[in-house]
Amino acid sequence: MGTQDGGPADLDVRLLGPIEVCRGGRAVDVPGGRARSLLTILALQVGQAIPAERLIDALWGDEVPATAKTVLQGFVSKLRKALGATALETAGNSYRLAVPRSAIDANRFHDLVKAARDLDGAERMATLEQALDLWGGPALSDVAYEPFAQAAIAALEEHRLAAREALISAQLDTGMHVELEPQLEDLIADNPYRERLREQLVLALYRAGRQADALQAYQQTRQTLIDELGLEPGPELRTLHERILNQDPALDAPAPSVPRRAEASTWLPSERKTVTVLFVDVTPTDAGIDPEAGETIAAESLARVTEALSSNGARIEESVSGVVIGWFGLPSAHDDDPLRAVLAADQARQRVLALPGICQGG
């Protein structure tokens, strides 16, 4: 469809966090209240014509005003003004958000997770990281308490957690067991009955050479499930426990595919080698950003950039004034160091763009 008015082809609708819209690389001032709820409903069913009666029921529930149809038409007009006249179509007594399916970040997330299933190793890990980088906070956070949003929020958050479990599995397969323990502890604290997370923690501890801690983690899991749910652990967790008791060689950790950062003392400056240096400046440049908001965005951007570089094997130099320098090839050089740097740069960019209030090209 046409884009002369800033139409559907250049829209980016974000549901994985605060509800936001970017249009041609700039943030759109989306109306609040029920107009924003209307956009959310249409985006969750993008491309589908939704009858006005269903929209009214979703927006007002049991307290439908006599003027609901007129007010709904007003919301539609506001959204068309914000998104572009062709973005929201009328089909009889129904309305449709007429943007490409990929314009909705939740759909891009699902597509990346699906694509990762057919990949292995580092490619699978990178694709899952790309999917999770699309999240800027809790799903649909602007309408978190609206009845119409509850089922969608639950489904999106379940898919997010499943993707995190899949990423952890891929990371375990590439020898990253030591780094995963703190993350798994936090996830288990938020999801205490999630057996796959507990299974991954037990395996990570075992592969880190901590068999006693792994067995203790299993016993704690078993006791929690019995005391609070009246259930024994599932077959996967019980089987893992038995394999650890028998010290099954198949559980041994694979060699890490991405080298962990080494201490500076292990690198001798006298050694001559080719290195790749990635320089990232995350200082806000948009004069229109509120100074306090700019500082918050800069701090979160700095953390996300550092994480992206570190996860790809970079040695991070002390960041000063919003600058991060990643060294690839220290202390040991690898043939794919330039590729690691490129992947890190792309991941850093995607993670920053997922921040609330940040639009590509904005």
How far apart are alpha carbons 133 and 167 in whole angstroms? Answer: 12
Blockwise average pLDDT, block size 10, the chain, 362 residues: 53 96 90 96 98 98 96 97 94 96 97 97 93 96 96 98 97 91 96 98 97 98 98 98 97 66 44 62 59 66 71 67 69 58 66 66 44
Given this model, what pLDDT does residue 334 score?
55
| Helices 33-44 and 68-83, packing angle to 10 deg | 70
| Helical (H) or strand (E) element with 247 | none
> Which residues make beta-bridge pairs with 14?
20
Rounded Cα gap, residues 7 and 23, in angstroms: 8
Task: Locate 214 and state its tokens.
Answer: 């792994």
221 within 8 A of 215, measured Cβ to Cβ: no
Helix (H, G, I), strand (E, B) or coil at 100: coil
For the record, the structure tokens of 346 come out as 């792309």
Would you state the pLDDT for residue 362? 41
C-alpha Rg value of the chain to the nearest Å: 24
- Give the long-range contacts of residues 110-113, CB within 8 A, separation 24 or more: 110/159, 113/159, 113/162, 113/163, 113/166
Q: What's the pLDDT at 304? A: 73
To 5 degrees, how large is the angle CA 191–CA 138–CA 162? 45
Instruction: Map out the domains of the chain with their CATH numbers.
Output: 8-101 (1.10.10.10), 105-251 (1.25.40.10), 264-353 (3.30.70.1230)
- For residue 289, what pLDDT is reported? 57
DSSP string, 161-188: HHHHHHHHHHHHHTT-HHHHHHHHHHHH
How many DSSP H helices and E strands does the chain contain?
Answer: 12, 9
The answer to whether 52 and 35 are in contact (CB under 8 A) is no
Amino acid at position 12, single letter: D
Q: Is the peptide bond before 235 cis (omega within 30 degrees of 0)?
A: no
Structure-token pair, residue 128: 């899952």
d(CA 16, CA 96): 20
Three-class SS of 285-314: CCCCCCHHHHHHHHHHHHHHHHHHHHHCCC
pLDDT at 316: 75
Residue 253 and residue 207 in contact, taking contact as beta carbons nearer than 8 Å? yes
| Residues 12, 134 contacting (CB under 8 angstroms) | no
- How much is the pLDDT for 180? 94
Q: Is the distance from CB of 280 to CB of 348 less than 8 angstroms?
A: yes
